[in-house]
Amino acid sequence: MIRSMTAFARSDRVTANGSLTWEVRTVNHRYLETTLRLPDGFRSQENDYKELVRTRLARGKLDAVLRFDPEGAEQATTLNIDTNRVGALLNAQQQIQSLSQEAGNLSVSDILSWPGVVKPEVLDFDGLYKDAMELLGEALNDLVEARRREGKRLVMFIEHRCDQIEQIVVAVTERREVVVQASRERLMQRIESLDLEVDPQRLEQELAIQAQRLDVSEELDRLGAHIDELRQTLTGGQAVGRRLDFLMQEFNREANTLGSKSNDAETTRHSMELKVLIEQMREQIQNIE
């Protein structure tokens, strides 16, 4: 299925160690180019993230940002208490109370708020790396789906332009005989106006040469073949952008030849319309993977 190279996706996850967020976006590019912005502690896994990207994408410039917030961790169900420090506090309380009868007892709140009693959680980086990798996979899945949706729109756009080009090919084909006949009549009128005596055989040769010079049947046939190949390519595999780029060059070549051979205003107009349609397709094809 055809995929666009322009898309955006975001994926979030809250873990026991903190919250993770991936934001990924892609734009058109000749090759696959990946740029990652990672927080401290995750940069050692950069190659693993890039390898995952390579398994999902073939072309495009990808910018991905990973955000990590340790404050966004899941609500802890237990506290990590430094029992040695609590024991020291209680011993100190007893010593103070032995010196003064006015000394009160420490409350649980007093103990828990004492510096160092509640030990900070040690981050499980192995778990974080696994979560970050899985989350990137989810973001890439969403990105690929967005690229597919945009690809469908591009295919519809290009197929519509193909229909219009076919109509132009039919119109120029139907006008070929009219163009040749009009050119023949102009030449005959010029000869008559100059009152020249022309050898009939030489005249027929000149008319044949002129008809051959104006003949665009080969260009029209090739345009028809290019349209068929373009439609077949659009129904093929995923990474077809380069092939479509080449086809646009072939379309342009035939359109230019058609215009250069024309000495008829209507055919010239058709050739200009053809160039406009080809350019519109070419611009959209730049976004196809």
The sign of the dihedral angle between the CA atoms of 46, 51, 56, 60 is positive
- CA dist 139 and 259 (Å) reads 48
Higher pLDDT, 3 or 176: 3
Q: What is the DSSP string of 229-249?
A: HHHHHHTS-S--HHHHHHHHH
Q: What is the DSSP string of 40-60?
A: TTSGGGHHHHHHHHHHH-SSE
What pLDDT score was predicted for residue 94? 85
- Please write the tens of the pLDDT for every residue from 176-211: 777 666 666 666 666 666 666 666 676 666 666 665
Do residues 158 and 283 lie in contact, with contact meaning Cβ atoms separated by under 8 Å?
Answer: no
- Computed over every residue of the chain, the mean pLDDT equals 86
Instruction: Note whether 7-74+125-149 and 151-286 share their fold.
Output: no
| In the predicted structure, residue 19 carries a pLDDT above the cut 80 | yes
How far CA 151 is from CA of 6, 146, 240, in Å, comes to 9, 8, 11
3-state secondary structure 96-117: HHHHCCCCCCCCHHHHHHCCCC
- CA dist 38 and 26 (Å) reads 17
Amino acid at 196: L
- Please write the tens of the pLDDT for every residue from 60-114: 999 999 999 987 555 455 567 888 888 888 888 888 888 887 778 888 888 878 7
Give percent above pLDDT 70 in the chain.
82
Starting at the edge strand found earlier in the chain, the sheet holding 7-15 runs 7-15, 18-27, 60-69, 32-37
CATH T-level topology, domain 151-286: Butyryl-CoA Dehydrogenase, subunit A; domain 3 (1.20.140)
Do residues 70 and 123 lie in contact, with contact meaning Cβ atoms separated by under 8 Å?
Answer: yes
The CA radius of gyration of the chain, in Å to the nearest whole number, is: 37
In the chain, where the domains are located: 7-74+125-149, 83-113, 151-286
- Measured between alpha carbons, how far apart are the two ends of the chain, in Å? 10
CATH code, 7-74+125-149: 3.30.230
What pLDDT score was predicted for residue 46? 96
Higher pLDDT, 228 or 120: 228
- CA dist 166 and 274 (Å) reads 10
- Please write the tens of the pLDDT for every residue from 155-165: 999 999 999 99
Q: What is the pTM of this model?
A: 0.70
What pLDDT score was predicted for residue 199? 65
For residues 273-281, average pLDDT: 96
Closest CA to 269 of 155, 183, 129, 172: 172
- Please write the tens of the pLDDT for every residue from 216-230: 888 899 999 999 999
Do residues 67 and 21 lie in contact, with contact meaning Cβ atoms separated by under 8 Å?
Answer: yes
Output phi, psi for 94, to 5 deg.
-65, -40
- CA dist 144 and 136 (Å) reads 12
Closest CA to 2 of 146, 160, 155: 155
pLDDT bucket at 234, cuts 50 / 70 / 90: very high
What pLDDT score was predicted for residue 149? 95
